[in-house]
Structure 1
Amino acid sequence: MPVFVEDIASRFRMSDSESGLVAASQLLATAVVTLAMAERATRPGRVKSARLGLLVAVVGFVGATFVSDPVSLIVANLVIGVGLGMVYAMATAALASTDNPDRASTLTVVGTVCATALLLVAVPAANQNLTEGFGCLVMGVACLIGWPLVGRLPDASPPQVTEVVQEKKTGTAPRPSAVLLTGMALLWAVTLGAWSYASVLGHEHTGMSSSDLSIVLAVSSVAALVGAVVGPYVAQRLGRMRSLAGFVVVQAVSMALLVTTHSSPLFIVMSVVWQATQLAVLIQTLGAAAVLDSTGRLVASLSGASALGVGFGPLLVGTFLDTLGITVLGVLLGMGTFVASLPILKMTVSASESIPAAERDEAPSVQ
Structure 2
Amino acid sequence: MVIDLPAKVLLSLVAAYSMAYHGLDLTPLTLLDLSASRGLSTTAAGATVTCMTVAIAVSSAVCVRFVARPRRYRMARMGLLLGAVAFAAAAFGPATWMIPPSMVAGGIGIGMSIAAGSAALATTPNPDSTTSTVTFVNRVAAAGLLLVLPFVGSDLTITLGVLSLILLCASALVRDLPDAGEDLAVQRTNATTRVDAHLTREQFALALFVGGGVFLWCVSEDMVYAITATVAIDRAGVAENYVGAVLSLSMLGGILGTVLALPVQRLLGRRASLVTSVLLGGVAKFALITATSPAVFIAAMSVWGTVYCCTLVYVISWAATIDVSGRASALVTSMYLAGFPLTPLIGGFLADNTAPLTFALCAAIPSLLVGALYYCAGTWHNRSLKYAPPISDERALDDGQHL
Gaps of 5+ in 2: 1-26, 393-403
Matched, 1:110 2:141: no
Equivalent of 1:64 in 90, 93, 96: 90
Structure number with greater CO (CA < 8 Å, separation at least 6) is: 1
Larger helix share, 1 or 2: 1
On the 8 A contact 2:127/2:321 being kept in 1, the answer is: yes
Once the two structures are TM-superposed, the CA of residue 152 in structure 1 deviates from its matched residue by 4.0
Once the two structures are TM-superposed, the CA of residue 135 in structure 1 deviates from its matched residue by 1.7
SS at match of 1:40: coil
Matched, 1:271 2:297: no
Equivalent of 1:37 in 63, 70, 80: 63
Write the distance in 2 (CA, Å) between the matches of 1:334 and 1:135: 34
The aligned counterpart of 2:123 is 97
**Alignment length (residue pairs):** 354
SS at match of 1:359: coil
TM value normalised by structure 2: 0.77
Write the distance in 1 (CA, Å) between the matches of 2:371 and 2:327: 20
> 1:180-259 to 2 correspondence within 5 Å?
180-205=210-235, 206-209=237-240, 212-259=242-289
Matched, 1:127 2:147: no
Q: 1:268 to 1:359 in 2, by over 3 A?
A: same
Letter in 1 for 2:301: S
Q: Which segment is superposed worse, 273-282 or 324-333?
A: 324-333
Write the distance in 2 (CA, Å) between the matches of 1:297 and 1:226: 29
SS at match of 1:294: coil
% of aligned pairs identical? 23
Once the two structures are TM-superposed, the CA of residue 295 in structure 1 deviates from its matched residue by 1.6
On the 8 A contact 1:29/1:85 being kept in 2, the answer is: yes
On the 8 A contact 1:240/1:352 being kept in 2, the answer is: no
The aligned counterpart of 1:85 is 111
SS at match of 1:175: helix
Q: Deviations over 1:133-178 (max 9, x none)?
A: 532222222212323343342244435466552555xx87852464
Q: 1:315 to 1:45 in 2, by over 3 A?
A: farther
Write the distance in 1 (CA, Å) between the matches of 2:232 and 2:91: 26
TM value normalised by structure 1: 0.84
The aligned counterpart of 1:145 is 169
Write the distance in 2 (CA, Å) between the matches of 1:260 and 1:6: 26
The aligned counterpart of 1:309 is 339
Q: 1:332 to 1:97 in 2, by over 3 A?
A: same
Q: Which segment is superposed worse, 199-208 or 145-154?
A: 199-208
Write the distance in 1 (CA, Å) between the matches of 2:201 and 2:46: 40
Equivalent of 1:49 in 75, 85, 90: 75
Once the two structures are TM-superposed, the CA of residue 334 in structure 1 deviates from its matched residue by 1.3
On the 8 A contact 1:181/1:302 being kept in 2, the answer is: yes
The aligned counterpart of 1:365 is none
The aligned counterpart of 2:361 is 331
Once the two structures are TM-superposed, the CA of residue 316 in structure 1 deviates from its matched residue by 2.1
